[in-house]
Copies of this chain bind each other. A is one copy, B any other.
Amino acid sequence: MMNRLPVAERREQLIEAALAVASRDGIDAATVRAVAAEAGVSLGVVHYCFQDKDELLRAMAHAITAANLERSLGELPVEKEDPESVIEGIIDALWTGIKESRGPQLLSYELTTSSLRHSELNQVAIEQYRGQWAAAEQVLNLVERSAHVGWSVPRGTLARTIVAVVDGFSLAWLVDGDSEAARSGLQGFGRFLATMAVPAPVDADAAATPA
């Protein structure tokens, strides 16, 4: 009944099916049977493409982490203005992206907690956060170049704070659905972030020096 596909493509199809099921109905609903049904293949195919269910879940976690980062870093507005405006634009774009992906966002938190409990998913959570911290640092880089500023506190500390605040507001929004409160709360944090910006030494743009 189903088209025949090389195993590599079938794997990607199953990963997307798992992502669809888990985003819609939760990580516990992503059983082998549900994923197979979502993909329109029969039960055995999953274990033909993946050794374990855990291997499938790890692949799914890797996929959603990559998708989240791409979404966060993809649509960044680049205008050269004062730090407040640059940060405000970034936060608006970021929050718009989050608001439109409630299911995957909730799934990300489910994956984080599951990773912290089950040793088979050991690396999932830390990889999620390493990626998010790196993405936050790239956002800081963008603000630096756009607004010609530096930072009065270490970048790593700032990046960790950004991720924590976005996570916290997102989680609260998932619970009570008040997206306006989340947006304005994030903008308030953005104004705080702007106070951390200090004018950059001239010609700092092309200085691609430090690690």
Interface of A toward B, CB cutoff 8 Å: 25-26, 28-29, 106, 109-110, 112-113, 116-118, 125-126, 128-129, 153, 157, 160-161, 163-169, 171-172, 174-176, 181, 184-185, 188-189, 192, 195
Min CB gap A139→B, angstroms: 16
Query: Of the candidates B113, B166, B168, which one forms a contact with A163 in the assembled complex, judged by CB atoms under 8 Å apart?
Result: B168
Number of copies: 2
Q: Are B175 and A116 in contact (CB under 8 A)?
A: yes
Query: Of the candidates B28, B29, B113, B129, which one forms a contact with A172 in the assembled complex, judged by CB atoms under 8 Å apart?
Result: B129
A172 and B165 in contact (CB under 8 A), knowing A106-B113, A113-B110?
Answer: no
Q: Are A106 and B110 in contact (CB under 8 A)?
A: no
Q: Are B28 and A176 in contact (CB under 8 A)?
A: no
Query: Of the candidates B28, B112, B174, B181, which one forms a contact with A116 in the assembled complex, judged by CB atoms under 8 Å apart?
Result: B174
CB neighbours (8 Å) of A195 from chain B are: 195
**Whole-angstrom distance between the alpha carbons of A163 and B168 in the complex?**
7
Query: Of the candidates B157, B174, B185, B188, which one forms a contact with A181 in the assembled complex, judged by CB atoms under 8 Å apart?
Result: B157
Q: Which residue of B lies closest to A157 (CB)?
A: B185
Q: Are B181 and A172 in contact (CB under 8 A)?
A: no
Q: Are B171 and A112 in contact (CB under 8 A)?
A: yes
What are 11 inter-chain pairs, A to B, with CB distance below 8 A?
Answer: A25-B117, A109-B112, A116-B174, A129-B172, A129-B175, A153-B188, A164-B185, A167-B167, A167-B168, A168-B168, A168-B169
CB neighbours (8 Å) of A175 from chain B are: 112, 116, 125-126, 128-129
Q: Pick the 8 closest A-B CB pairs, nearest first.
A: A164-B168, A168-B168, A26-B117, A167-B168, A164-B169, A125-B175, A192-B192, A110-B113
